[in-house]
């Protein structure tokens, strides 16, 4: 189908040809997708877009007039600052809770595994288990792996509701960083505690000082990045293996016309890992063959896809905006979902085909879907039942309707911190040396989602391309990773796209200039890596020549990530405007004031060229601070329109 032409509308919605073909197909078949629904929602509420609406109590809902002519206070008296700050705090709590509850699910299954109460799981990385256990004070010498695991599970459970002063993994942050957190009163204490306190503070009549509210919002984010997400990542590595570089493939071309296709969508590897194992069960493969298929093809979507790709090299069909389009291929027998980023609409789209939507989490049911409750205590049995259900759908496939556009693109994943340091010989020294010599000028984490308000993947790809061209190493997670995979940025040969310094380093190590670090929760790996670099140099994280970017973010989780990344000392550029512009004071705090508190700020810049220029200047400034050779950005390779003024939310970041 690669020769199929696409129309102008679909080209304006996504830069990916497979997506364009399917968007056209959806329209031809009268199937509504996310882009149609976004159009139906226009105009979207301006008060909400500015963060100026509040429905926190039944005296409201209230809104503040941004033009100063209408009401400037809600019924309770809350002004724009209070309302915007409360809304942002609640958003961060929702995102942080999502990651942390995912981490809790893994932690509980890990505890069950340790006690011998699961099927389908084992401790895959015992070395990492013992290392983490030792780190948090669990005795490891002379003890069985199960004994160590039980104690580790107990210690980490405590982090959810601890009455200690700080979370276990905050000890990984440089001392200077922890001092800044203490000074600002934002050291995260218990994961659940910070989230509950955020909801408490934003109840009517509690925290009515926007600075105080936003500082706690940072603490709530830190409880995610150095708590829930980090627990999720570390224990997933222990249970499913610490990723090492692995080749895989990406885009809708990973589907097979002659096999039972199962797409795993959501976030938690507890489910996807056992489904991958079940799909290789000879009895189930034989069952698939008995209904006319050649085999069973498991593919990923969104972050559960990243989890499978990182550890097993399982191909990934796409990122966030592909979840409806993959159904429209007509080639899926089942989409198996757990939670987060799963559009309710998939049930309606699947009804147009033979595809089963199988929900699995009792906390994430979808009306109209087939629910098969997932229980780690019977993981292998549940996985078998799910795969069997998918196979049974195959005879209902209308082969004449199947349309799989394009060929898959090769991509490399598997860059855990252990793998990155391993490639460097076990220490950060070669990376630090390369940065000091200027062959690598710095590093940027490009993370986050797709958002239908932007052409799919365009911002991710344009920003990343400009960064690597300028010798800036890029680390990617989540949907940003999938976007870069589709664009061909994530194979060793892509080093040809990089500037001369970065290219030489990548060629010497045989790695791409864009490293796949994992799923959304795996942004915690980036925290571990920057902490290791800072410790090696004897500096704080905010002194490193690094930055963050979320060019196409949409989710509350992305806001929580932004909060902990900035609170950890990494200035972060958002490509989509957050709903804070109704309060100039809140904007000033986020864009300027945080510099004096955590040494980093938020920036909003939707133009990837301008975002790249800002980041480049930021990195050069940080290099200068470390006494490293400074290169005036104007002498670096700059595209024509890079010199235009940036649209930023704070004067401090104006170049």
CB-based contact 334:389 (threshold 8 Å): yes
CB-based contact 108:232 (threshold 8 Å): no
Nearest to 81 by CA among 210, 213, 216: 210
Binding mask 167-206 for ligand SF4 (x = CB under 6 A): -------------------------------------x--
Segment interacting with ligand SF4 (CB under 6 A) among 69-77, 286-294, 375-383, 496-504: 69-77
Segment interacting with ligand MSK (CB under 6 A) among 199-207, 468-476, 551-559, 606-614: 551-559
Going from the C-alpha of 427 to that of each of 172, 422, 423, 433, 480, the distances in angstroms are 16, 8, 9, 11, 27
Question: According to the binding rule CB under 6 A, does residue 523 interact with ligand MSK?
Answer: no
Dump strand ranges (E) for 432-559.
Answer: 442-446, 472-477, 514-518, 546-550
Nearest to 453 by CA among 331, 575, 301: 575
* Dihedral Cα 262, 353, 385, 380, nearest 10 deg: 20
Q: How far is the CB of 204 from ligand SF4 (least distance, A)?
A: 4
Dump strand ranges (E) for 14-116.
Answer: 53-54, 62-63
Binds 265: which of ligand SF4, ligand MSK, none (CB < 5-8 Å by kind): none
Distance of CA 409 to the CA centre of its chain: 21
Binds 479: which of ligand SF4, ligand MSK, none (CB < 5-8 Å by kind): ligand MSK
**555 vs 572 by CB, closer to ligand MSK:** 555
Segment interacting with ligand SF4 (CB under 6 A) among 60-68, 351-359, 396-404, 630-638: 60-68
Question: According to the binding rule CB under 6 A, does residue 320 interact with ligand MSK?
Answer: yes
Nearest to 336 by CA among 95, 328, 11, 326: 326
Judged by CB under 6 A, the residue of 1, 32, 49, 76 near ligand SF4 is 76
Judged by CB under 6 A, the residue of 51, 74, 103, 376 near ligand SF4 is 74
| Binding to ligand MSK, residues 251-280 (CB under 6 A) | 267
Judged by CB under 6 A, the residue of 45, 48, 59, 647 near ligand SF4 is 59
CB-based contact 347:366 (threshold 8 Å): yes
Tokens, residue 267 = 């976030």
Q: What span, in angstroms and rounded, lies between the C-alpha atoms of 618 and 514?
A: 20
Judged by CB under 6 A, the residue of 23, 62, 246, 576 near ligand SF4 is 62
Binds 61: which of ligand MSK, ligand SF4, none (CB < 5-8 Å by kind): ligand SF4
DSSP 512-542: -SEEEEESSTTHHHHHHHHHHHHHHHTS-GG
Helices (H), 115-144: 126-135
Q: In 10 A of CB 241, how many CB atoms?
A: 18
Q: What span, in angstroms and rounded, lies between the C-alpha atoms of 13 and 29?
A: 18
E strand or H helix that includes residue 9:
helix 8-13
Going from the C-alpha of 46 to that of each of 53, 531, 613, the distances in angstroms are 9, 40, 30
Q: How far is the CB of 134 from ligand MSK (least distance, A)?
A: 31
Judged by CB under 6 A, the residue of 1, 32, 49, 57 near ligand SF4 is 57
Judged by CB under 6 A, the residue of 23, 26, 52, 78 near ligand SF4 is 78
Binds 64: which of ligand MSK, ligand SF4, none (CB < 5-8 Å by kind): none
Q: How far is the CB of 448 from ligand MSK (least distance, A)?
A: 5
Judged by CB under 6 A, the residue of 190, 405, 478, 633 near ligand MSK is 478
Q: How far is the CB of 341 from ligand MSK (least distance, A)?
A: 3
Q: How far is the CB of 63 from ligand SF4 (least distance, A)?
A: 8
Phi, psi of 608 (to 5 degrees): -65, -30
E strand or H helix that includes residue 318:
strand 316-318
Q: What span, in angstroms and rounded, lies between the C-alpha atoms of 565 and 357?
A: 35
Count of positions on this chain that bind ligand MSK (CB under 6 A): 15
CB-based contact 234:308 (threshold 8 Å): no
**269 vs 478 by CB, closer to ligand MSK:** 478
Judged by CB under 6 A, the residue of 241, 448, 513, 582 near ligand MSK is 448
**50 vs 449 by CB, closer to ligand SF4:** 50
Binds 56: which of ligand SF4, ligand MSK, none (CB < 5-8 Å by kind): ligand SF4
Binds 215: which of ligand SF4, ligand MSK, none (CB < 5-8 Å by kind): none
CB contact burial 352-388 (16+ within 10 A = b; e otherwise): ebbbbbbbbbeeeebeebbebebebebbeebbbebbe
Judged by CB under 6 A, the residue of 271, 343, 479, 653 near ligand MSK is 479
**64 vs 598 by CB, closer to ligand SF4:** 64
Judged by CB under 6 A, the residue of 56, 319, 484, 495 near ligand SF4 is 56
Judged by CB under 6 A, the residue of 38, 60, 256, 388 near ligand SF4 is 60
Q: What span, in angstroms and rounded, lies between the C-alpha atoms of 405 and 17?
A: 8
Question: Within 13 Å and on the Cβ side, how many CA atoms surround 399?
Answer: 9
CB-based contact 306:413 (threshold 8 Å): yes
Segment interacting with ligand SF4 (CB under 6 A) among 74-82, 214-222, 448-456, 632-640: 74-82
**322 vs 494 by CB, closer to ligand MSK:** 322
Q: What span, in angstroms and rounded, lies between the C-alpha atoms of 25 and 389?
A: 27
Going from the C-alpha of 270 to that of each of 252, 304, 595, the distances in angstroms are 24, 9, 39
CB-based contact 239:233 (threshold 8 Å): no
| Binding to ligand MSK, residues 556-595 (CB under 6 A) | 557-558
**78 vs 443 by CB, closer to ligand SF4:** 78
Q: How far is the CB of 557 from ligand SF4 (least distance, A)?
A: 24
Judged by CB under 6 A, the residue of 19, 94, 303, 565 near ligand MSK is 303
Q: How far is the CB of 482 from ligand MSK (least distance, A)?
A: 8
**Residues at the interface with ligand SF4 (CB under 6 A):** 54-57, 59-62, 74-76, 78, 83, 204
Q: Which residues here bind ligand MSK, judged by CB under 6 A?
A: 267, 302-303, 319-320, 341, 448-449, 478-479, 519-520, 555, 557-558
């Amino acid at each position: 189908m690669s020769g199929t032409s696409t129309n102008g509308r679909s080209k304006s919605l996504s830069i990916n040809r497979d997506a364009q073909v399917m968007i056209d197909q959806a329209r031809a078949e009268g199937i509504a997708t996310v882009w149609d629904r976004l159009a139906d929602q226009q105009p979207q509420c301006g008060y909400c877009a500015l963060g100026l609406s509040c429905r926190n109590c039944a005296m409201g809902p209230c809104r503040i007039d941004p033009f100063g002519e209408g009401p400037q206070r809600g019924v309770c008296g809350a002004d724009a600052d209070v309302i915007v700050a409360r809304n942002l705090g609640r958003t961060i709590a929702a995102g942080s809770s999502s990651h942390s509850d995912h981490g809790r699910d893994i932690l509980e299954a890990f505890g069950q595994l340790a006690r011998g109460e699961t099927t389908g799981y084992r401790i895959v990385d015992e070395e990492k288990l013992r290392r983490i256990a030792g780190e948090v004070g669990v005795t490891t010498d002379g003890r069985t792996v199960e004994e160590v695991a039980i104690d580790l599970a107990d210690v980490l459970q405590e982090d959810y509701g601890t009455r200690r002063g700080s979370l276990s993994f905050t000890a990984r942050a440089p001392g200077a960083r922890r001092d800044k957190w203490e000074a600002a009163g934002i050291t995260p204490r218990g994961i659940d505690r910070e989230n509950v306190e955020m909801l408490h503070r934003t109840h009517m009549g509690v925290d009515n000082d926007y600075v105080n509210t936003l500082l706690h919002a940072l603490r709530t984010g830190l409880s995610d990045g150095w708590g829930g997400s980090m627990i999720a990542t570390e224990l997933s590595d222990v249970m499913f293996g610490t990723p090492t570089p692995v080749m895989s493939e990406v885009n809708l071309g990973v589907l097979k016309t002659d096999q039972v296709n199962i797409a795993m969508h959501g976030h938690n590897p507890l489910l996807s890992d056992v489904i991958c194992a079940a799909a290789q069960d000879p009895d189930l493969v034989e069952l698939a063959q008995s209904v006319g298929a050649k085999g069973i093809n498991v593919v990923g979507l969104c972050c559960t896809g990243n989890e499978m790709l990182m550890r097993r090299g399982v191909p990934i069909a796409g990122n966030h905006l592909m979840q409806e389009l993959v159904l429209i291929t007509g080639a899926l027998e089942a989409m198996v979902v757990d939670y987060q980023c799963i559009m309710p609409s998939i049930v309606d789209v699947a009804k147009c085909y033979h595809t089963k939507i199988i929900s699995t989490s009792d906390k994430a049911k979808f009306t109209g879907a087939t629910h098969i409750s997932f229980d780690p205590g019977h993981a292998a049995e549940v996985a078998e039942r799910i795969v069997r259900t998918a196979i049974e759908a195959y005879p209902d496939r209308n082969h004449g309707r199947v349309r799989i556009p394009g060929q898959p693109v090769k991509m490399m994943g598997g860059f855990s911190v252990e793998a990155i340091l391993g490639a460097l010989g076990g220490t950060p020294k070669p990376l630090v040396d390369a940065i000091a010599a200027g062959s690598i000028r710095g590093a940027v984490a490009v993370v986050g989602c797709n958002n239908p308000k932007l052409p799919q993947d365009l911002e991710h790809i344009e920003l990343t391309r400009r960064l690597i061209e300028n010798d800036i190493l890029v680390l990617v997670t989540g949907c940003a990773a999938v976007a870069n995979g589709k664009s061909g940025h994530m194979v060793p040969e892509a080093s040809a796209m990089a500037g001369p310094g970065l290219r030489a380093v990548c060629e010497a190590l045989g790695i791409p200039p864009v490293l796949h670090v994992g799923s959304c929760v795996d942004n915690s790996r980036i925290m571990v890596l920057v902490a290791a670099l800072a410790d090696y140099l004897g500096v704080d994280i905010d002194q490193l020549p690094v930055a963050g970017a979320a060019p196409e973010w949409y989710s509350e989780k992305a806001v929580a990530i932004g909060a902990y990344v900035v609170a950890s000392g990494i200035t972060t550029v958002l490509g989509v405007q957050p709903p804070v512009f109704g309060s100039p004071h809140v904007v000033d705090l986020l864009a300027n004031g945080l510099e004096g508190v955590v040494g980093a700020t938020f920036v909003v810049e939707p133009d990837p060229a301008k975002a790249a220029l800002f980041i480049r200047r930021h990195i050069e400034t940080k290099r200068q601070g470390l006494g490293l050779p400074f290169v005036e950005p104007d002498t670096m390779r700059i595209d024509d329109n890079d010199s235009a003024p940036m649209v930023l939310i704070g004067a401090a970041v104006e170049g």
